[in-house]
């Protein structure tokens, strides 16, 4: 599929996603876990496009949600998959809990004793028994960006694993609560399997203790967080999945219940690209700036996390590469995609592609500087279809009143 033709047809900036790539990654997990009961719950926050949710649901995936809005997306895209939804997040509201109970989701991943009390209250009011899993904090260090590390005791996520046994026992006296599983999530963009295995081992010990208490959990949710390579290196996804699953399976030896995984980035990041057009090439003193029509409101990861994305011309020109900053037109010095990056020669009107942008790209896009959000296209085989139209100024102004 020609990115040049897509840019002409749909304009720029433009997000392009590969359905085949997404399904291939899903299949890696499903095949690696074919020997045990499992459910792959896609982390909706990575890319919540309805078309992608529908695509995954049709292949048997479930969903990990962190808000009532994400639940509504699942219900809009694949209502038949609502019983494959787990609801995570530290700040669930009563309204969100009511909606999820009424919809009949699989389980709530509960992150505090106060939340468990609220869940019990709402379940009683609605006369619906609530299945829950405590999200325990295993205090396992994972080498990743501090903003996306979640498994240490100083983080806002989860319940101290040392308190979990008592909480499960106390919850057993409430007729409106069902201790269905246990959950753990230690962070995102983690490239090594060992931290996942260490977290799963701590959970496995707790599950064994609960069994002694007469509490037989049906599922263990080991979360997501498996990372990718954003640089231009060899990336053997199948091997990485096998190593990851092997570490978890080894740690959970003896557990015969259902295993839940919550991959997000690993499924969609490398399936997506952001196509942008060069507006100008500007020299300021010793610095050369390549100014594009995409900006930090379209892809904030470089500004927010100092994240790296490969940037390549769609149609490379001959000539010597040079060191440039690739930036957008937003009125912020932090509006950049790359600093001091070696890039092949480009001219105004050329197309550039920011690779591995399928996760947390469109999902974190905003209207900063009153910029309409980009269009998004899904490529299926040799066909492309628009799955999110480009916003207009009418869209941006529709909610406001003078």
Residues 6+ apart with CB under 8 A from 117: none
| Exposure of 218 in the CB half-sphere (CA atoms within 13 A) | 8
Say if residues 238 and 186 touch (Cβ distance below 8 Å).
no
Query: Which helix (H) or strand (E) element contains residue 283?
Result: strand 272-284
DSSP designation for 31:
H
Is 41 catalytic? The answer is no
Say if residues 94 and 122 touch (Cβ distance below 8 Å).
yes
Radius of gyration of the chain (CA): 23
Residue ranges of E strands in 168-257: 177-183, 219-221
Say if residues 316 and 352 touch (Cβ distance below 8 Å).
no
DSSP designation for 131:
E
Length of the chain: 402
Q: Which residue among the candidates 114, 253, 318, 331 is catalytic per the annotation?
A: 331
Determine how β-strand 351-354 pairs with β-strand 272-284: antiparallel
Distance from C-alpha of 110 to C-alpha of 89, rounded to nearest angstrom: 8
Active site residues per annotation: 331
């Amino acid at each position: 599929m020609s990115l040049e033709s897509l840019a002409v047809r749909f304009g720029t900036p433009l997000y392009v996603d590969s359905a085949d790539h997404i399904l291939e990654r899903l299949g890696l997990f499903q095949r690696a876990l074919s020997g045990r009961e499992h459910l792959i719950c896609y982390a909706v926050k990575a890319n919540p496009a309805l078309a992608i949710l529908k695509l995954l649901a049709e292949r048997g995936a479930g969903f990990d949600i962190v808000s009532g809005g994400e639940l509504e997306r699942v219900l809009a895209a694949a209502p038949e998959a609502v019983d494959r939804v787990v609801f995570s997040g530290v700040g669930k509201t009563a309204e969100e809990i009511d909606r999820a109970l009424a919809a009949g989701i699989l389980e709530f991943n509960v992150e505090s004793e106060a939340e468990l009390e609220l869940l019990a209250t709402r379940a009683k009011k609605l006369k619906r028994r609530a299945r829950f899993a405590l999200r325990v904090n295993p205090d396992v260090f994972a080498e990743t960006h501090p903003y996306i590390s979640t498994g240490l005791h100083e983080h806002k996520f989860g319940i101290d694993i040392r308190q979990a046994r008592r909480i499960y026992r106390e919850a057993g006296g409430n007729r409106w609560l069902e201790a269905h599983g246990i959950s753990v999530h230690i962070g995102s963009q983690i490239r090594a399997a060992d931290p996942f295995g260490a977290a799963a081992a701590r959970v496995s010990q707790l599950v064994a203790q609960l069994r002694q208490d007469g509490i037989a959990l049906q599922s263990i949710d080991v979360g997501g967080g498996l990372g990718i390579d954003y640089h231009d290196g060899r990336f053997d996804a199948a091997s990485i999945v096998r190593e990851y699953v092997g570490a978890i399976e080894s740690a959970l030896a003896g557990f015969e219940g259902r295993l839940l995984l919550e991959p997000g980035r690993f499924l969609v990041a490398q399936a997506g690209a952001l196509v942008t057009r060069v507006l100008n090439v500007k020299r300021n003193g010793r610095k050369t700036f390549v100014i594009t029509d995409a900006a930090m409101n379209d892809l904030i990861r470089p500004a927010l996390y100092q994240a790296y994305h490969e940037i390549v011309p769609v149609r490379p020109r001959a000539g010597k590469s040079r060191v440039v900053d690739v930036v957008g037109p937003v009125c912020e010095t932090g509006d950049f995609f790359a600093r001091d990056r070696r890039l092949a020669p480009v001219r105004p009107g050329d197309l550039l592609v920011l690779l591995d942008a399928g996760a947390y790209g469109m999902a974190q896009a905003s209207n900063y500087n009153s910029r309409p959000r980009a269009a998004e296209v899904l490529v299926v085989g040799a066909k492309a279809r628009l799955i999110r139209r480009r916003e207009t100024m009418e869209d941006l102004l529709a909610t406001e009143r003078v």
